[in-house]
Structure 1
Amino acid sequence: MAVSQEKREEIRQKALEYYEKAHIYLTEEEKKNLEIADMGLGRIEEFGIQIHIYINTKRYAAKEMVLLPGQICPEQCHPPFEGDVGKEETFRVRYGTLYVYTEGKRTPEAEIRARIPADKQDCFRVFHQLILKKGEQFTVKPNVTHWICGGEEGCVVSEFSTYNRDDLDIYTDPEINRMDGVTHKES
Structure 2
Amino acid sequence: EQRLPVNESEVASLRSLRRGVFARRAIAAGEVVQADDVYFAFPPQDGQITANDWSKYATFTAQADIPEHAALSTQNSTRRDVRDKVWEIVQRVRAQLSSSHVVVPGRVDLEISHHYGLDHFDEIGLTMLTVDNRRYCKKLLMLLPGQQHPEQYHQRKEETFHVLHGELTLQLDGVNRACRPGDVVTVEPGVRHAFHSQEGAIIEELSSTHFSNDSFYTDEAINANRDRKTLLSYWMD
Considering the TM-score relative to the shorter chain, is it more than 0.5? Answer: yes
Per the alignment, residue 7 of structure 1 pairs with 85
Compared CA separation, residues 168 and 178, structure 1 to 2 (3 A)? farther
Check whether the contact 1:166–1:178 (CA below 8 A) recurs between aligned residues.
no
The change in CA–CA distance for 1:96 and 1:178 in structure 2 (over 3 A counts) is farther
Unaligned residue ranges in structure 1 (runs of 5+): 80-85, 104-125
The CA RMSD measured in Å over matched residues stands at 2.2
Question: Offset of 1:140 from its aligned partner?
Answer: 0.5
Alpha-carbon distance in structure 1 between the residues aligned to 2:229 and 2:188: 28
Select 2:124's aligned residue among 12, 33, 47.
Answer: 47
Q: Percent identity?
A: 31
User: Does structure 1 conserve the Cα–Cα contact (< 8 Å) formed by 2:110 and 2:231?
Assistant: no
Length-normalised TM-score, structure 2:
0.59
Cα 1:184–1:15, aligned 2, differ >3 Å: closer, same or farther?
A: closer
Matched length = 152
Stretches of structure 2 that go unaligned for 5 or more consecutive residues are 1-31, 33-58, 60-80
Letter in 2 for 1:94: L
- Structure-2 separation of matches of 1:155 and 1:27: 19
In 1, Cα distance between equivalents of 2:226 and 2:102: 25
User: Residues 17-47 of structure 1: CA distance to partner in whole angstroms, max 9, x if unpaired?
Assistant: 11122212235533xx311111253311111
CA distance in 1 between counterparts of 2:83 and 2:207 reads 30
1:19 aligned residue (97, 109, 119):
97
Distance 1:145 1:75, change over 3 A: same
Output the CA distance in 2 between the equivalents of 1:159 and 1:72.
17
- Per-residue CA distance 1:105-132 (angstroms, 9 max, x = gap): xxxxxxxxxxxxxxxxxxxxx2x11111
Q: Is the 8 A contact 2:154 2:190 kept in 1?
A: yes
Matched AA of 1:54: V
Kept after mapping to 1: 8 A contact 2:116/2:124: no
Q: Which among 168, 184, 199 is matched to residue 137 of structure 1?
A: 184
Residue of 151, 156, 160 corresponding to 1:75:
151
Distance 1:89 1:62 in 2: 9
Structure 2 residue identity aligned to 1:52:
L
| Higher relative contact order, chain-length normalized (CA < 8 Å, sep 6+) | 1
Match of 1:93 among 163, 167, 182: 163
- The range that moved more, 1-10 or 11-20, is 1-10
Is the Cα contact below 8 Å between 1:66 and 1:156 reproduced in 2? yes
Distance 1:51 1:26 in 2: 11
Bigger Cα Rg = 2
